[in-house]
């Protein structure tokens, strides 16, 4: 990660002053966009598609592990509980949400420790941190805390960083260059470049940059989620990460999507989501 936080802060200040500051979405900060992405992508995780032309909410769509763990991080942010406690408590409430095998073992272990994962599980759950904290340093510190309870490789923090940049008015080209500069990702690709040779990939390195590019190539929240799913990969997680960033950038997602999310969630998951939305509005 970047070692010079002063340089980073001053660069961010420059970005905020730049002419192409496009969408200052303070006052509309929520996490419904990530959850809606997970729900919309849920039917395509094991039946990948390479098109943007699909019904937005398939009759069999449902929330998955991406939503459960995103809500768990939001719960920890709201309550001040350690991240590990919220993730294990809420994660155990939904034992068949779609977790990977190593995560299931970690969830039920008496002595949970990081298991050397480089998977996209830390990226799928981190968006609330990008919404909740007021400075770049705090976002990166808390994103690392959420990741390292289970992942030795905190790749997933990059998703939170993108949410923070999008939320604080940074233009798309600056988001592209900041992500490339900070993390060394190849961001000079388009969705159309990636799609033909992309395949199911649960690594963070093979999910987060593609999810960010799906957002960069979009003109709305819905377009961003359609881009993410059209890549034909780990669709619910791609759309969850893209959806969080897209909502941070474009502002509140359409009302009918918000209502659909509420319909799909259980009362306890919705309660945390609603409380988070109200606090970080
Ligand atoms: Mg999932």
pLDDT digits (tens, 9 = 90+) for 204-255: 889 999 999 999 999 999 999 999 999 999 999 999 999 999 999 999 788 9
Residue 16 placed within a domain: no
Q: Can you tell me the distance from the alpha carbon of 68 to that of 120, in angstroms, rounded to the nearest whole number?
A: 15
Q: How many independent structural domains does the chain possess?
A: 1
Is it the case that residue 1 has pLDDT exceeding 50? Answer: no
Q: Work out the number of other CB atoms within 10 angstroms of the CB of residue 79.
A: 12
Indicate the pLDDT class of residue 62, thresholds 50, 70 and 90.
Answer: very high
Residue 272 placed within a domain: yes
Domain holding 62, by residue range, is 24-279
Burial letters for 91-111: b for 16+ Cβ neighbours within 10 Å, e otherwise? beebeebbbeeebeebbeeee
Ligand 1 geometric centre to CA of 9 (Å): 34
**pLDDT cut 90: percent of the chain above it:** 75
Quote the pLDDT of residue 13: 32
Ligand 1 geometric centre to CA of 63 (Å): 8
Helix, strand or coil, per DSSP, at residue 263: helix
- Contact present, 70 and 257 (Cβ < 8 Å): no
The domain spanning residue 245 has which CATH number? 1.10.4080.10
Is it the case that residue 270 has pLDDT exceeding 90? Answer: yes
Ligand 1 geometric centre to CA of 239 (Å): 10
Ligand 1 geometric centre to CA of 100 (Å): 9
Residue 8 placed within a domain: no
Ligand 1 geometric centre to CA of 39 (Å): 9
How does pLDDT run across 133-153, given as a tens digit for each residue? 999 999 999 999 999 999 987
Quote the pLDDT of residue 72: 98
Burial letters for 217-252: b for 16+ Cβ neighbours within 10 Å, e otherwise? bbeebbbbbbbbbbbbbbbbbbbbbbbbbbbbbbbb
Sequence length of the chain is 281
Residue 2 placed within a domain: no
Indicate the pLDDT class of residue 2, thresholds 50, 70 and 90.
Answer: very low
Q: Can you tell me the distance from the alpha carbon of 86 to that of 171, in angstroms, rounded to the nearest whole number?
A: 33
Ligand 1 geometric centre to CA of 2 (Å): 30
Indicate the pLDDT class of residue 29, thresholds 50, 70 and 90.
Answer: very low
Residue 3 placed within a domain: no
Indicate the pLDDT class of residue 177, thresholds 50, 70 and 90.
Answer: very high
Residue 55 placed within a domain: yes
Ligand 1 geometric centre to CA of 17 (Å): 38
Quote the pLDDT of residue 31: 87
Quote the pLDDT of residue 228: 98
Residue 9 placed within a domain: no
Residue 257 placed within a domain: yes
Indicate the pLDDT class of residue 23, thresholds 50, 70 and 90.
Answer: very low
Ligand 1 geometric centre to CA of 235 (Å): 8
Indicate the pLDDT class of residue 55, thresholds 50, 70 and 90.
Answer: very high
Helix axis angle for 65-79 and 267-279, nearest 10°, is 50
**pTM, full prediction:** 0.89
Quote the pLDDT of residue 3: 39
Ligand 1 geometric centre to CA of 184 (Å): 26
Ligand 1 geometric centre to CA of 65 (Å): 5
Ligand 1 geometric centre to CA of 64 (Å): 5
Ligand 1 geometric centre to CA of 148 (Å): 20
Ligand 1 geometric centre to CA of 99 (Å): 7
Q: Can you tell me the distance from the alpha carbon of 121 to that of 64, in angstroms, rounded to the nearest whole number?
A: 12
Ligand 1 geometric centre to CA of 106 (Å): 17
Rounded mean pLDDT, 103-117: 93
Is it the case that residue 66 has pLDDT exceeding 80? Answer: yes
Instruction: Please state, rounded to an integer, the average pLDDT across all residues of the chain.
Output: 88
Out of 176-185, 262-271, 272-281, the most confident range is 262-271
Quote the pLDDT of residue 82: 97
Environment of ion ligand 1 (residues, CB < 5 A): 64-66, 98, 236
- Contact present, 69 and 125 (Cβ < 8 Å): yes
């Amino acid at each position: 990660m970047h070692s010079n936080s002063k340089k980073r802060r001053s660069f961010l200040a420059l970005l905020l002053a730049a002419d192409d500051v496009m969408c200052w979405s303070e006052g509309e900060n929520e996490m419904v966009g990530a959850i809606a992405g997970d729900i919309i992508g849920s039917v395509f995780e094991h039946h990948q598609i390479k098109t943007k032309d699909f019904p937005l909410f398939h009759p069999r769509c449902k929330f998955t592990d991406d939503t459960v763990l995103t809500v768990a991080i939001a719960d920890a942010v709201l309550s001040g509980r350690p991240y590990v406690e919220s993730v294990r408590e809420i994660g155990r409430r939904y034992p068949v949400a779609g977790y990977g095998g190593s995560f299931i073992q970690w969830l039920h272990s008496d002595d949970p420790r990081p298991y050397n994962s480089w998977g996209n599980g830390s990226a799928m759950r981190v968006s609330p941190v990008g919404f909740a904290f007021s400075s770049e340093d705090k976002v990166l510190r808390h994103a690392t805390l959420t990741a390292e309870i289970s992942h030795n490789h905190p790749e997933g923090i990059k998703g939170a960083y993108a949410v923070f940049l999008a939320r604080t008015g940074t233009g798309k080209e600056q988001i592209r260059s900041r992500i490339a500069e900070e993390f060394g990702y190849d961001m000079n690709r388009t969705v159309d470049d990636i799609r033909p040779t992309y395949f199911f990939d649960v690594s963070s390195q093979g999910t987060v940059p593609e999810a960010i590019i799906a957002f960069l190539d979009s003109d709305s929240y819905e377009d961003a989620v359609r881009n993410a799913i059209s890549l034909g990969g780990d669709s619910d997680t791609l759309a969850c990460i893209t959806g969080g960033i897209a909502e941070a950038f474009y502002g509140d997602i359409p009302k009918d999507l918000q209502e659909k999310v509420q319909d799909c969630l259980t009362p306890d998951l919705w309660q945390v989501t609603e409380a988070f939305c109200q606090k970080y509005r």
